[in-house]
Chain A
Amino acid sequence: MDRFLFLTLDGLSRGAVYAAFALALVLIWRAGRIVNFAQGAMAVAAAYVAYSVTAATGSYWLGFGAALLAGLLLGAVVDIAVMRLVDHRSPLNPVIVALGLVLLIQAVLGMVYGNEYLPAQTPFSRSALTVGGTAVLSPYDLFVFATVGVVGAALVWIFTRTAIGLRMRAAAFAPEVSRLLGVNVGGMLTLGWALASGVGALAGMLVIPTELGLHPHAMDLVFVSAFTAAVIGGLDSPPGAVVGGLGVGLLLSYVSGYAGGDLIPLAVLALLMTVLLVRPGGLFAPVTARRV
């Protein structure tokens, strides 16, 4: 029972990060009907920026801030310099271009930092606190929950309470009408990319220290897990992405705890295949099996 509690809390902590990353995928999907397959690579790039800043200044928090800033900037640059130029009439094109970005970003990171695992710091201890003899959460887990909670609340606030959020939603739902109402639709899309990439960078900062460390491919499997979470949520639904993220986190924690950590990749693939076979539109959307 203790073990179950521990695995549940651990899974929720892991799931919170997947939720944040899935949220970033959903943001771009809603804004531009693109699944940003480069999001993992972009998040890793931001984490490397944090690594350099922390190495230079000795401060984790300066590095953390630098990663968020780098994430925001990289998102905006990718939209303006690449995605905006791509012909979106075929849905294959943006996907292929995003994969080109994956190769390019991972290659540049490999050239600059090398293809070895670098240690990734955490600001708080990762050893679990015990309550009444039961290992529960580590201070780092609490930090993860707090950060993801704050970011989620901030996103909700931006999108539902601010003028810029209203513009972004309008631009996503009805670009042409929004332009007629004076909304700079292109600018809103860029802002959406920046925000999503910033959230992705944050998720990367949170998850990388809990895995093997910093590496150009560090987010590959995280991306697949978060994509699965987003698909469970229906790709279109931010609350769905959060629920999906927590669900995937829990499942992987139980698999890892009861059956062995080696089985995690297989579990992710099996889950994704099952979801796609049973409810391709996600659990939170009406079934739309065939999206062209």
Chain B
Amino acid sequence: MSRLSIITENKAQTTVEELYKDLERRISASPPGLCPVDLASSFLKMCHAQSCGKCVPCRVGLGQLEKLMEDVLDGNGTLETIDLIESTASSIFYSADCAIGYEAALMVLKGIKGFRNDFEEHVLRGRCICELNQPVPCVSQCPAGVDIPGYVALVAEGNYADAVRLIRKDNPLPSVCGLICEHPCEVRCRRTLMDDPINIRGLKRFAVEHAGEVPVPEPAEATGKKVAVIGGGPGGISAAYYLRLMGHDVTIYEQRKQLGGMLRYGIPSYRLPRETLDQEIEQLLSTGIHVKTGVTVGESPNILELRSQYDAVYIAIGAHTDRKIGIEGEDAEGVISAVELLRGIGDSQLPDFTGKDIIVIGGGNVAMDVARSAIRLGAKRLRIAYRRRREDMTAMPEEVEGAIAEGCELVELHAPLRIEEDAEGKVAALWVKPQIIGPVVNGRPKPMDSGQPEVRLACDMVLVAIGQGIESKNFEKYGIPVKRGVIDALNWSGVKDISGVFAGGDCVTGPATVIRAIAAGKVAAANIDEFLGYHHVISTDVQIPKVRMDTRKSCARVNMKERSVCERVKDFQLIECGMTEEEAMQESRRCLRCDRFGFGSFKGGRVEQW
């Protein structure tokens, strides 16, 4: 007998480790709309399997909870069963010895609070409130409902032009989205159950870049109805494009010199090249959309005047005002808001930051955009000061990673205190207070004063990127309802009690994503058409390819590559490299075609028109 021995993993343990990963992926690919009681009950069973069995609440209690939840699910429960679940779960929460028990009980308690009505529905009617109404996970996750399995299949067949046509049915900006969409479609991709989600955005980019010139459809017969769209961002353009295809006479009012909104004045060209943006906008305008740039809808013209001149108005003004940080010294020379900087860059006014020591305040995508732009503008040193930890940043992880790769330093867990000015009123330093990460509140950890002394970060400039606001005052003044700073529109884009006025996108939701703006434009177009007394249909004659049978072999995901750091930081050219044809073929053929398998084969995997 040896006193100690080296622990080696046996086959069972290695397999279980693999199963844990399978389960993680499975949960992340969980389809939307499942019965929450059933899910909670299954989770509970798994929690129970994790019990070491020492203590009663966990070993016995979780099992009894399982049984009670099954009673609810099988219609054998009563309202008292729900109360018993609650009191038993509370008891387990209070008395379990370790987190395996009390956190499992907490999940049940959260469920009782979060979807008690569903528990009650099961008990009282023997049914579940939830229904699975979108069988294809990527489509259901895409705010615009783009026919993703359709265009991925077209890419797999090399039919790129049809892929673009199919995308445009629901999203008129495939070039833009191929580069900068946040791709919520990939989050619940069923392929994740096997290995990794499909690189949907990468395939979209590939389709667009290999389709050649794809003409836009002919608009329908002119209706003689006039629609004004306020704001030439992605939402406004989308609404204008679909309304124009429906035969209406559309005019876009744009405050700035050029169309594009945040696509131009917010997103740096290294992520979205101006030529790509211009080309895509040009093509959409070629349907015959009128554009008035340099016109601010406010006093003159005001919204009511526009309403009287047009049959309908769509407000899509986005969220373009900078938010003040509210600390001492924020008016010093050298303090610039991110919005202001990016707006200038959008109109090709590139400031020279050569030799500057710059600090960016913020942790969102805009903070990363200004930081990386500043690097390209010659900054000598760039630091990003953030109150929380890196993993708490709201910026996409790849953006943070990119910024760091390009030389940005993260100053995590430091809250801005004040900006120190020199004798000439110029920025001399940013004072920050060290933080300690604290409790998780509503899913986000809260930073707290660490008790450490203040820190002085000497610098030449401070770029403030702490979010944007909406210029809603000019609309509020003329009777458009505004709630907490955003325009108060209904879920069908209409504005309550003001007939013919519609609103959507960032100005309604607060700063969000391009695909949500596009989706809002699509919804607005449909409902404005309806309001104008029509029922135009947007559809396409693109034929969806048949299913290939070679999709189910294990194959990992093709990720996007980027230009080398030392090369890309010197210019504002596109960072990301497109897929090769081989990659696109491999990637597109990984798609499991949920439109034709599973629930899709029963309920139909697509919405062919809207």
Q: Do A and B bind each other?
A: no
Interface residues of B (CB under 8 A from A): none
Residues of A in contact with B (beta carbons under 8 Å apart): none
